[in-house]
Amino acid sequence: MDNVVARGTKVVVTGAAGFIGSHLVEALLDQGYTVIGIDRRSPRTDPIARLNLQEVVGHPGFSWAEADLMDADLDSLMEDVRYVFHLAAVPGVRSSWTGFPRYVTANILATERVLAACVRQEVPRLVYASSSSVYGVSGSPSRENEPTLPISPYGVSKLAGEQLCLAHAKRPGSRLSVVALRYFTVYGPRQRPDMAIGRVLAAALTGEQYTLFGDGTQRREFTYVGDVADATLAAATVDVPAAVVNVGGGSSVSMIDVIGMARQVTGQPVPLAAIPALAGDVPATAADLTLARALLGYRPDTDLHTGLARHAEWLRRLPPDQLSLYTPPRVAIEEVSACSS
């Protein structure tokens, strides 16, 4: 992206205190953007938000708004904004079966509020963080033009948000353009602590048991967070009125292979306990990246082994009190959800 174009351009990132959101904020600041971060989690009171944002708090180009999207003054926050990156959401497949009202509020109703504010403030571009969970079960690499048949309430909520975005962009006379990015299982430093790769690496480093759902043959297209940030930046400036684009890591890998790589990069065994697979957990995900290459110039730079090594090194550097944040109780585990904020 051209730093001359970026310099001083005002953007908003919702979900800025989250895993992907905090990496995106850093990338935008590096490009010279002026960034408004919005999140209901506060770095003053939430230890993970504090850890995620420690590199940007105090940066002259970064301003912080602690707010819930359902009651925030979005018109004021989006005044003179060029791009909105909407990453805020309630993530996770497992808890969506019992807590769906939270998903409806955060993933659908809040998305509509963000879109309406963009329209009123004449924001020209919104980039929406969608999920590979919208596809459901697929026997081959998923393409953006194939049917979407989510098999979890979480996937349903992300698809509804995506469709709302496209409806606003395609409305006659609309000045708002939208790119929805379907992220495939994002991992890397700061990954949400109930996600699979972080839990596997933490198990190797601490000796805590890793609970494997199913027999380990389920496959995921794991995508390094730096590649996701690059794709998200590219989506801001691509010249399209409305588009849906896959963002994946370039290959689909089994959990058995992930566990083997974790042993290699940490030099430690991964203590295991296996339990049956959970409802909503698809057998495999894989992304067709043809459109991402053509539209965004996207080519993932980080292979899984390299990304695991970076993730493990980040965990190693954490002091014990912070590492404990990434070794959650077994009752809190989510497994390999497709997207994480």
Tell me which H or E stretch contains 34. strand 34-39
Name residue 34's beta-bridge partners.
10
In whole angstroms, give the CA distance from residue 250 to residue 43. Answer: 34
Nearest to 228 by CA among 178, 179, 182: 182
Give the active site residues: 154
Strands 125-131 and 177-183: parallel
Q: Are 101 and 153 within 8 A, CB to CB?
A: no
- Which residue's structure tokens are 């495939």? 184
- Spell 12-35 as b/e; 16+ CB within 10 A means b: bbbbbbbbbbbbbbbbbbebbbbb
In whole angstroms, give the CA distance from residue 324 to residue 28. Answer: 29
| Coil vs helix vs strand at 143 | coil
